[in-house]
Amino acid sequence: MVRHFLDIHRLSAEDLRGILDDAHARKQARKGWPKGRADADAPAKDRVLAMVFEKNSTRTRFSFDAAIRQLGGSSIIATASDMQLGRGEPVEDTAKVLSRMVDAVMIRANRHEDVENFARVSTVPVINGLTDRSHPCQILADLLTIEEHLGPVAGKTIAWVGDGNNVCHSFMHAAPKFGFRLQVACPAEYHPDLHDLAKGGDHVVLTSDPQDAVRGADVVVTDTWVSMGDKDYEARLEAFDGYGVDDALMDVANPGAVFLHCLPAHRGEEVTDAVIDGPRSLVWDEAENRIHAQKAVLAWCFAGG
């Protein structure tokens, strides 16, 4: 069976733990190496990864490109607007064609259903590089970062403060799989999707009070209040007033608590300069860890055959 990486809740806890362990191991094994040198096992040797972007990207684009090279493979990158996809060619037809030309496809799409439909007919692995619904690759990088600094994530408490968005959904999917508690604080009108909340089971609690979410937390996470595709900028700024992460809010968390943000950040909105550029912030490790996490995802996909 083709191994797609579409959402964290679709994989077993065992497979996910294996991917995260592989990410740790691959990072450790190449400390000090030039970034272009392939890992010793080169599990993607002779493999080509296609990357299709319907939305902007810095981290996902560069980290996947670096990742496939470090696994011994190569990439082809295109924005959807340069492809016939951008002129209305069906996503399923695109999937059938790319399946004949490359060994795996990473897609960043506006509509989650398009990635699902692509994967349904693709005969090569498909990886979700962010949709309006989820961002599973980001969460693996975040968990890698947390474990490097705080030890095993199982049993830890993570606070999500701000928009109940795509990144929040993937965190909720991950909570029962990795055994952590997630305390989410969102304004009522921007709460997470209830189907995604349900996937978190009793590992996830929802509140509208940022202090309640952060109390007892080992990690505080936020993201932009206005994701790609959101049109209601003014209404959002108003609704999220009071949800910014500042030093006072960080002080409510457990001593030694760390701060994560998937980036890009909007200083002065969801986070202050003092927090994101301060000693509790791990955002640069988190960004680097996109490479290591994605290498493990790609290696898992290719190990399926």
How far apart are the C-alpha atoms of 123 and 104, rounded to whole Å? 9
Name which of ligand NVA, ligand CP, none residue 58 binds, using a CB cut-off of 5 to 8 Å depending on partner kind.
Answer: ligand CP
Pair 207, 183: CB distance under 8 Å: yes
Interface with ligand CP includes 138 (CB under 6 A)? yes
Q: What's the CA gap between 60 and 74, in Å, rounded?
A: 15
**Using the rule CB under 6 A, which residue among 83, 205, 228, 252 binds ligand NVA?**
228
Q: Return the biggest CA–CA distance within the chain.
A: 54
Residues facing 46 on adjacent strands: none
Number of C-beta neighbours around residue 207 at 10 A: 15
- Positive or negative, the CA dihedral 32, 29, 291, 262 is negative
Q: Which residues contact 269 (CB under 8 A, 6 or more apart)?
A: 224, 225, 237, 240, 244
**Catalytic annotation on 28?**
no
Other beta carbons within 10 angstroms of residue 188's beta carbon come to 9
- Piece of 40-48, 55-63, 95-103, 182-190 that binds ligand CP (CB under 6 A): 55-63
**Dihedral (CA of 122, 175, 227, 140) sign:** negative
Binds ligand CP (CB under 6 A): choice among 239, 263, 274, 288: 263
Shortest Cβ 57–ligand CP spacing (Å) = 3
- Is 224 strand, coil or helix? coil
Tell me if 28 contacts ligand CP by CB under 6 A: no
Is 15 one of the annotated active-site residues of the chain? no
In terms of Cα–Cα distance, which of 3, 17, 4 is closest to 176? Answer: 17
User: How many Å apart are CA 185 and CA 162, to the nearest integer?
Assistant: 6
289 binds ligand CP (CB under 6 A): no
Select 157 or 224, whichever has its Cβ closest to ligand NVA: 224
Residues touching ligand NVA, count (CB under 6 A):
9
Q: Among 224, 272, 281, 294, which residue interacts with ligand NVA (rule: CB under 6 A)? A: 224
- CA–CA distance, 108 with 275 (Å, rounded to integer): 29
Residue 57 in contact with ligand CP, rule: CB under 6 A: yes
Measured from each CB, the residue nearest to ligand CP is 60
Is 108 known to be catalytic?
yes
Site residues for ligand NVA, 241-280, by CB under 6 A, read: 262
Contact status: 107 vs ligand NVA (CB under 6 A)? no
In this complex, which beta carbon is closest to ligand CP, that of residue 57 or of residue 183? 57
Catalytic residue check, 135: yes
Q: Are 261 and 271 in contact (CB under 8 A)?
A: yes
**Least separation in angstroms between CB 13 and ligand CP:** 24
* Binding residue positions for L-ornithine: 166, 223, 227-228
Residue nearest to ligand NVA (CB): 227
Using CB under 6 A as the criterion, which residues of the chain lie in contact with ligand NVA when the complex forms? 130, 165-167, 223-224, 227-228, 262
Using CB under 6 A as the criterion, which residues of the chain lie in contact with ligand CP when the complex forms? 57-60, 130, 138, 262-263
